[in-house]
Chain A
């Protein structure tokens, strides 16, 4: 028996949770000695009121769409993939290898190859935790956390000892060849009279992210695999009854999840940095958790949540620049969003359920 309508659980609960997170964030800003409304205004101006701001907002959002979808797909199979960070970094390694060692004649070919490499490397990094979960019952949350650290150490080793150009001090690869440079929004949308998205890193990858949203939606709700994946997420014994292999679903959903996380690298590594650096994922793997929770693991929700976090990231940078509030403000907001939408959701749900029960029309069930 449902205690309240499905729409209330799907929309009202997360909305109120986010509202609470927002109010608390405002209090944090106020405690730092700034008027929260002014801070918000500053963020909006910097992130949304000019095209270059949008360029950054969409660039960050692209990262978060990928990592958010990655977490969301795993959530549907009732798995918590905290390893997006490591998978994205290893995806970056794939991108770097594809861009550095094959002389591509055109960026479009390089993009296809880099996309495949990013997905493949990300999926491979998710495969080991997945197979350990499926075959040996190792808790995937713990193994994916461990794999984040192992990935960081591995990338560190590869950059310092193998891919660092001779004579360079910084642990990073050489800059990718010019032919692999992806079209930015500035190149794509500026006309001879007006320059749009000036200097901002948003690039063609954004459209791949949008395509990924559509792809994930089709996968989850329109295919047999998605049907099996959700069924497995709801009930493992049920899945067994229906002849759905737990090993297959665990592995396949984590491969898809890892591939999506890996794809983030085409935006950050190929589109923006144009070389592989240490910690190329910059915490986006973790933000994916907040994005998926807030977006209720639905691609539309993930897209909107990613936009919001893109805005927060860019707005946060503006605040850091103009108001001397550290960028860690965004980390705090992110923490509050995760806490209230993912862990303290019953704080909102239970009173709402009581309210709906109290106002239930007499005679109805």
Chain B
């Protein structure tokens, strides 16, 4: 593999990691507050559709982004209603919302555009354009670092930078602010939060809403940046990979970055090479596809460090008598 290929691969890794990272951080907020969310996939999907559709209809990608976030928040609201207010089964709610998104996006797409469940291709202002970071041209000629900066780091859609900046922001919010302290507490011991005079319900709804916003950005990036259209099931399991990354990261922001980069890299490799030649033997593309899931199972099994989820995760809060 030459240097140019490597650069391409890394550049692709950044792009593939972006939706994973946003969704993973989304899950982090929700699960840290004690609400399991296997509906990341559905939220991304519905956001992808509405962002592409509204961007296409208005010709403005930013309105599309808002629409995507709004749609994702809508699913978050239902999830919150089911898991927080009505103390339902959070896993089942997540499953249901994934199906809802999967069905409703195609129904509306077909009804609006009659193109077999996809939107028309976005052009011009309806598309997320790539931006060059400062000094890209100046530094291009610096050996090794120049091309890396120009090709891998610079020249992505703005939402990519949003995703990567969201990592330190999440860390700061979680471990340095009052909100973060309460959020972490409510996922571990909601009764402690409640008796301290803080509303468990409001905290959890806030967390679920943040989750919705981040999933919305992730979906919007997929359908206006990564690809210039919405296609049926276009998230293709990324919500589940993000979930896997979250477990892999043990619910920590910086680890989440590492996990998403790794899984993004695997996706980039799987796209670039059908069968990955390692010299002695070739790795079939299917192994690349399955690797994030296999790694997650290994982590879950506790063979490499133990992933302990937030203690109150998945259980609705009921004041005990």
Contact = CB atoms under 8 A, between A and B. Distances in A.
A binds B: yes
A245 interface: no
Interface stretch (B95-103, B133-141, B142-150, B161-169): B95-103
A338 B309 CA distance: 25
Contact of B93 (A132, A137, A343): A343
A171 to B, nearest CB: 11
Contacts of B95: 82, 286, 289, 338, 342
Nearest to A80: B91
Interface in B284-319: 284, 286-287, 289-290, 293-294, 296-297, 300-302, 309
A338 B301 contact: no
Contacts of B93: 339, 342-344
A161 B285 CA distance: 11
Interface in B206-253: 237, 240, 243-244, 247
A331 B97 CA distance: 11
A338 B38 contact: no
A161 B90 CA distance: 39
B289 A153 contact: yes
Contact of A344 (B38, B81, B240, B297): B81
A142 B296 contact: yes
B104 interface: yes
Interface in A105-161: 128, 132, 136-139, 141-143, 145-147, 149-150, 153-154, 156-157, 160-161
Interface in A310-331: 324-326, 328-331
Interface string B79-94: 0011100111111110
Given A146-B244, A338-B95, A153 B88 contact: no
A331 B98 CA distance: 10
Given A289-B92, A326-B106, A326-B107, A334 B99 contact: yes
Given A286-B95, A326-B107, A332-B99, A342 B88 contact: yes
A33 B240 contact: no
A149 B240 contact: yes
A150 B290 contact: yes
Nearest to B78: A339
A346 B92 CA distance: 13
Contact of A32 (B38, B87, B111, B301): B111
B86 A339 contact: no
A345 interface: yes
Contacts of A324: 110
B309 A139 contact: yes
Contacts of B290: 149-150, 153-154
A28 interface: yes
A328 B89 contact: no
Nearest to A151: B290
B76 to A, nearest CB: 14
A51 to B, nearest CB: 29
B32 to A, nearest CB: 16
B117 interface: yes
Chain B interface, >50% SS class: helix
A61 interface: no
A335 B82 contact: no
Given A141-B38, A338-B95, A332 B286 contact: no
Nearest to B104: A332
A360 to B, nearest CB: 21
Contacts of B98: 335
B3 to A, nearest CB: 30
B302 A137 contact: yes
B103 A145 contact: no
In the complex, which of the residues B88, B247, B286 has the most CB atoms of chain A within 10 Å of its own CB atom? B286
Interface residues of B, number: 45
Contacts of A331: 99-100, 102-103, 106
A102 interface: no
Contacts of A339: 78, 82, 92-93, 96-97, 100
Contacts of B289: 149, 153, 156
B251 to A, nearest CB: 13
A343 B84 CA distance: 11
Nearest to B275: A161
A220 to B, nearest CB: 20
A336 interface: yes
Contacts of B91: 80, 82, 141
A330 B237 CA distance: 20
Which of A33, A153, A334, A345 has most B Cβ within 10 Å? Answer: A153
Contacts of A336: 96, 100
B286 A153 contact: yes
B103 A329 contact: yes
Given A142-B243, A329-B103, A343-B93, A154 B300 contact: no
Contact of A150 (B89, B104, B293): B293
Interface in A4-20: none
Given A132-B301, A145-B240, A338 B107 contact: no
Interface of B: 38, 78, 81-83, 86-93, 95-100, 102-104, 106-107, 110-111, 117, 237, 240, 243-244, 247, 284, 286-287, 289-290, 293-294, 296-297, 300-302, 309
Given A153-B287, A324-B110, A332-B107, 8 more contacts: A32-B111, A136-B301, A150-B290, A160-B286, A332-B104, A335-B96, A336-B100, A339-B100
Q: Which 10 pairs across A and B sit closest by C-beta, in order of nearness? A: A331-B103, A335-B99, A343-B93, A332-B103, A153-B290, A335-B100, A342-B92, A339-B96, A343-B88, A138-B300
27 contacts: A132-B301, A138-B300, A138-B302, A149-B289, A150-B293, A150-B294, A157-B286, A289-B92, A289-B95, A324-B110, A325-B110, A326-B107, A328-B107, A329-B107, A331-B99, A331-B103, A331-B106, A332-B99, A333-B103, A334-B99, A335-B96, A335-B97, A335-B98, A335-B100, A343-B90, A344-B81, A350-B86
